[in-house]
A = this chain, B = another copy of it.
Amino acid sequence: MIATRLRQAIPFTIAIGIWFAPVPAGLTAQAWHLFAVFVAAISSVLVGAFPLLTAAMIAVGTLVLSGTIAPAHAFSGFANASVLLVVIAFLVAQAVVKSGLGKRISLFMVSHFGGSPLGLAYSIVLTDAAIAPAFPSNTARGGVLFPIVLSVSQGAGSKPGDPEGRRLGGYLMFCAMASLALSSALWLTATSGNPIGVQIAVKSGVEIGFGSWILASSVPALIAIGMLPLLVARLFPPGVGATPEAPAAARAELAVMGPLSRDEWITAVTFAVMVAGWVLADLLKLNVTSIAFTGLGVLLMANVLTLDDIAKQGDTLATFLWLAVLFALSGQLNELGFMSYAGERLASHLRGLSWPVLYVTLVVLYVFIHYLFVSQTSQILALLGVFLDVGVRGGVPVPLMAFGLLFASSYFSVITPQGGSQNIIFAASGYLTQGELYRLGLFVTLAFLAVFLLVGTPWVLFVAG
């Protein structure tokens, strides 16, 4: 109780301390006060004082009522197309879960690849990569994968309590969790953070669409995906040689499901059209958010989703509120010149580095700072712009720096069990200890970092100059 109170005093102390400190030369008082409140809001989450929603509400209220930011600027995030895409995507993803289409796809993959732990892991990882572009919430995707991983593990006799028997389940759980990190790096539309990051990168002059993203990510992400089940098997051996009964079990369950239901058909066709629209959006000058709006409308019209399903999505409203606010505040930090000021400070410490060294330093620093963050999006909002700016000023080619940081924003999520909200359900399954989660998280993140730096760098330079 006292510990909680003390923790809750931290963000206020930070806000007041910075607010009333002398404004550094080169910054307006407005920018400095915004920085004080923004840092306090982020730190409130880092130290576990208040959740993001609480911090965001207090922050936006304080900033507008104190006259630091105009209401129109403070509220602009709510009308931002990327923020709206995240919100609508959360709602649309419910159709895949509810209709049973997600489960069917997973079972189909297991029935074909599930003859050994490695095969099972590949089936999970490939399923994830295949459904990811139509699933712009990796948390929702985790919600589809988890019951499959759990039933496959239990079906093979692996239970959390059993010291040896738990290993297969633990292996599959970690593979699935790390897979979400990679599939999110693979597709622009596979996680809520990506469109946000792209929006920030626009300010540095790099336009990234669905097509240019998949072109740049394909080689490093697919290599990392291909490597993942083997790497985790080496770090955490599953302890079982073969699971010959899994494909049959999946086939049996598929048989029970019967042919595609009406709702599955409608969901499948709607998503196919939406994904086609997203892929061709640049070419046909279609607004991606409006494609999602229309998709949601069609699913509601067809009764695949109902108003009752939406009524259960209060969590999405909470996400909408804090995301829109922090997004607008982060944008204002940039507008008011704070980002470039902070960038210059960071740059002064890194001065004289050649651009390749600077690039590597920034990416490595960006990945390890994630130990401090409990949300990928909050790190993207707080730091992506600054790091990108420092790299670009130091001579790193803009697309390389942008993609380097954007991909890292996805693959760094397994570095801690709470490094991404999609981890929670897998980490809480009981198959792995906290120590194992941190150890596996570190080594797997190091491997991802190596692949994206060593293979990703030349590939991105080749395709995106």
A residues with a Cβ closer than 8 A to B are: 8, 50-51, 53-62, 64-65, 71-72, 74-81, 84, 87, 286-287, 289-291, 293-298, 300-301, 307, 310-318, 320, 324
Q: List 16 A-B contacts (CB under 8 A).
A: A50-B301, A53-B300, A57-B294, A57-B296, A58-B301, A61-B291, A61-B297, A64-B290, A65-B287, A71-B81, A71-B287, A75-B79, A78-B324, A87-B317, A311-B314, A312-B314
Cα(A296)–Cα(B54), bound, Å: 8
Q: Which residues of B contact A71 (CB under 8 A)?
A: 81, 287, 289-290
Q: Which residue of B lies closest to A294 (CB)?
A: B61
Give Cα distance in the complex from A16 to B80, angstroms. 30
Q: Which residue of B lies closest to A317 (CB)?
A: B317
Pairwise interchain contact B316-A310, C-beta atoms closer than 8 A:
no
Across-interface contacts of A317 in B (CB, < 8 A)? 87, 310, 313-314, 316-317, 320
Query: B310, A318: Cβ atoms under 8 Å?
Result: yes
What would 11 more interface pairs be, CB under 8 Å, given A64-B289, A72-B79, A310-B314?
A51-B300, A53-B307, A57-B293, A57-B297, A64-B287, A75-B80, A75-B81, A78-B79, A78-B84, A307-B318, A312-B314
Q: Which residues of B contact A57 (CB under 8 A)?
A: 293-294, 296-297, 300
CB neighbours of A286 from chain B (8 A): 65
A241 nearest CB across to chain B (Å): 44
Q: Give the Cβ gap from A145 to chain B, nearest Cβ, in Å.
A: 22
Complex CA gap A113/B435 in Å reads 65
Pick the contact of A294: B55, B62, B80, B298 (CB < 8 A): B62
Give chain B nearest CB distance to A47 CB in angstroms: 14
Q: How many copies of this protein are present in the complex?
A: 2
A70 to B74, CA, bound (A): 22
* A50: nearest chain-B partner, CB-CB: B301
What 7 pairs between A and B have smallest CB-CB spacing? A61-B294, A57-B297, A58-B297, A79-B79, A64-B290, A317-B317, A54-B300
How long is the Cα–Cα vector from A80 to B76 in the complex, in angstroms? 9
- For A74, the closest partner residue in chain B by CB is B290
- In whole Å, how far is A321's beta carbon from the nearest beta carbon of chain B? 8
Which residue of chain B lies nearest to A76 when distances are taken between CB atoms in the complex? B79
Nearest CB on B from A167, distance (A) = 35
Complex Cα spacing A383 to B255, Å: 55
Give the shortest distance, in Å, between A159 (CB) and chain B (any CB). Answer: 30
CA distance A60 to B294 in the complex (A): 8
B60 touches A293 (CB 8 A): yes
Provided the pairs A57-B296, A317-B316 are in contact, do residues A78 and B78 lie with their beta carbons within 8 angstroms? yes
Docked pose: A78 CA to B82 CA in angstroms? 13
A94 to chain B, nearest CB (A): 11
Give the residues in chain B near A291, CB-CB below 8 Å.
Answer: 61, 65
Residues of B within 8 A of A289 (CB): 64, 71, 75
Report the separation of the CA atoms of residues A9 and B72 in the bound assembly, to the nearest whole angstrom. Answer: 40
> What separation, in Å, do the CA atoms of A77 and B324 have in the docked complex?
14
User: Nearest chain-B residue to A285 (Cβ)?
Assistant: B67
With A310-B314, A314-B317, A318-B307 known as contacts, the answer to whether A300 contacts B78 (CB < 8 A) is no
Chain B residue at minimum C-beta to C-beta distance from A73? B79
Partner of A316, one of B59, B75, B293, B314: B314
> How far apart are A201's CB and chain B's nearest CB, in angstroms?
19
Q: Are B313 and A54 in contact, with the CB atoms below 8 A?
A: no
Q: Is the CB of B75 within 8 A of A301?
A: no
Determine if A58 and B314 form an interchain contact, defined as CB atoms under 8 angstroms apart. no
- The closest CB in chain B to the CB of A313 belongs to B314
- Nearest to A58 among chain B residues (CB) is B297
Select from chain B the residue with minimum beta-carbon distance to A79.
Answer: B79
A75→B64 contact, CB < 8 A: no
Q: Which one of B58, B78, B296 lies within 8 Å of A298 (CB-CB)? A: B58
- Supposing A65-B291, A294-B58, A314-B317 touch, asked if A300 and B50 sit within 8 A by C-beta, the answer is yes
